[in-house]
Amino acid sequence: MYKETENATRRLLIGEGIYCWVLIERKRFYQNVSITQGEGGFEINLDNRKLKTPQAKLFIVPSEALATAVATEWDSQQDTIKFYTMHLTTLCNTSLDNPTQRSKDQLIRAALKFLDTDTICYRVEEPETLVELQKNEWDPIIEWAETRYGVKIGVSTSILGPSVPAKTQEILASHLASYNMWALQGIEFVVAQLKSMVLALGLIDLRLTVEQAVLLSRLEEEYQIQKWGNIEWAHDYELQELRARAAAGTLFVHLCSESTTIKHKLLRE
């Protein structure tokens, strides 16, 4: 379910607790982007203006590395600001505003719910070539996750999906609880993009690259495209957009888990 909010220059949707920019653009109104250290974190400056969240809170992030990454998003905008391409900024806004006021436990449950419908745990019974493809491509990452976390993750050809043991839920919930609230926002975002908790864990744990995780999440779709063809521009756009979102979410998780700082950097002089 999506809730719409609006202020003078921004329209966005709140879905599943995460801000989602409507496809709107705005003329770039600033020349310089910089970061400065303030009380409690690092701020983004657009010329002499401090960046604010959709709820008009001061945009302040916990690490200089994350601030630099966000500043790079703003600095890379050309004549037009395309808010919907700025995934790190959106994740920071979500973390700062917490628009649906979710707790840490709620974030963990939101990510774990994808285990019950995990993309790579649903298997087809035919055709044989797709059955084999799913087995060859998906089984290794499931086996990795089971070994890495000491859990059991089943697969199923039933429309009801696999039955996930309570112990698996408990262990993975404990693992997710080791992350801070900001990182959890990123984890849930990656899980939602890939529609797979297992693939998200593999990506965040650096077992998979972004390209590998995205391809595995779209395995059946790519199989059908190879067989029947596709609308080229639409396929390419969807693929690149999914890669961008998965990459941004993964980077966000790692930067929110970083304790190191880097030197103050003025991005445009």
155 and 212 Cβ atoms separated by less than 8 Å: no
**C-alpha atoms less than 13 angstroms from C-alpha of 75 in its C-beta half-sphere:** 18
Gap between the Cα atoms of 36 and 68, Å rounded: 10
Helix extents (H) in 23-165 = 64-75, 87-97, 104-112, 128-149
In the predicted model, residues of the chain with pLDDT beneath 50 are 1-11, 259-269
pTM: 0.87
Q: How many CB atoms lie within 10 A of CB 150?
A: 10
What tokens does 142 get? 């499931």
Name the DSSP letter for residue 51: P
Q: What pLDDT does residue 163 have?
A: 86
Own/partner contacts of 140-149, CB < 8 Å, gap of 24 or more, are 141/198, 141/199, 141/202, 141/207, 141/208, 141/216, 142/198, 144/202, 144/207, 145/198, 145/201, 145/202, 148/201, 148/205, 148/207, 149/175, 149/201
Q: What confidence score (pLDDT) does residue 225 get?
A: 86
| Greatest Cα pair distance in the chain | 62
